Amino acid sequence: MRDNPTEVFVGGAVLALAFGFLFYIWQVAGHGGLSGTYSLSASFRSVEGINPGSDIRLAGVKIGTVTDISLNPDTFRGDASFAIENGIDLPDDSAAVIASEGLLGGSFVEIVPGGSLETYENGAEILDTQGAVSLISLLLKFVTGDDA
């Protein structure tokens, strides 16, 4: 078998494109960020719709990801951990709200910034939270006329 220089060049170009594509996917998935992150946590009444890897957004812009979700056996609430990009200093009276992209869209955690001059430190907990709102529950309340 003899090597044709054109075949070797084309093969190398295909491999380079494949590695470039894999690197791009790795970056988009949030695994290889060049800037560091700091961690925050929050406790929600319901974490329905989010999972590890869900977006954390501020003003519609992704600023981090959900890194872990667990059930707190003492409070029976869903505890979530977040990784927030360095350089995004959130006021320490900000709120975390589980929001939906629409009727058929996925859910994400929206950060509603407060007005404090102090900011969250690494490992801090967001105390002001609002869990996921169940669309089925809202529809049932509308249909049955139940105010409770």
Residue-range domain boundaries for the chain: 1-34, 37-141
Taken in order 67, 112, 94, 136, is the CA torsion positive or negative?
negative
36-82 per-position pLDDT tens digit:
889 999 999 988 888 999 999 999 899 999 999 999 999 999 999 99
Look at residue 34 and tell me whether its pLDDT is greater than 50: no
Count of residues making up the chain:
148
CA distance 46 to 133: 8
